[in-house]
Structure 1
């Protein structure tokens, strides 16, 4: 993703995530996801969530496009997606609670949906049902093709989602 000149003038930068960003990732992940974990899973347990975050962080650094969003040099969020041979998955957005970054998130969704349109690869993602991001995804052309107890399973650029059962099994068997 390339930032517009306006975003750069506002002080935003986007950088590849480095090993030194792990602690900030864990902190922002907690800030962003704790309300959902509390709502759907009965409470945040730091030790368990640290193990999950550490695993995700290293896996995303190895296998995905994993970017930090910075404002005047301070990390305020993370954007992730994984382009596979036949689809784009592992879309993840973690942002600080300031709310100023909603337009930036829209630009990121424009970027990955353009990638999908260009490569003809569908995008598959999950989002907590109570997350305001679900509405943002819908505004960018994503549709719900399934649900779990906690998540919407959403897709973009796919006409028939009936064959996505294997994807559902894969993401919920982790």
Structure 2
């Protein structure tokens, strides 16, 4: 896709990919702020009826730091999966006004196509939103962030994520793969 300043200066939104594989969309969603502002980055979320609840949350988390574009077979989802979709949309509505004022950073470095862990942080003047995806590998990773005074799990609310201070930032454990979480870090 063409993503350049001349085109983006004339458009409100830019589709980031037509990728439907949730594991392959994570590095795209995490890297897209290198080319498109978060408020312009249309990130597609495709929850499917055959997806586990962790996969639905993974899919939805990919879109939360961009501009949510929801697709998939939503009416066929289980009530629990639909609740995760509704929760994600509610979280997005809560944070979307902050996105135009946020600057991106990558607490695990820019993502590679096959990385087992991927992270994108959007820093605002008052808070940091941190999306972290686990696609495999060890259950714990260390994120290079300034140690926050407060860490809240924004999505999914039933996450089994465990966050602990670490000398190099923040240690995050996600017990299952694939899984993802959106955190709010406050100084």
Query: TM-score under structure 1 normalisation?
Result: 0.38
Query: TM-score under structure 2 normalisation?
Result: 0.36
State the structure with bigger RCO (CA 8 A, min sep 6), 1 or 2.
Answer: 2
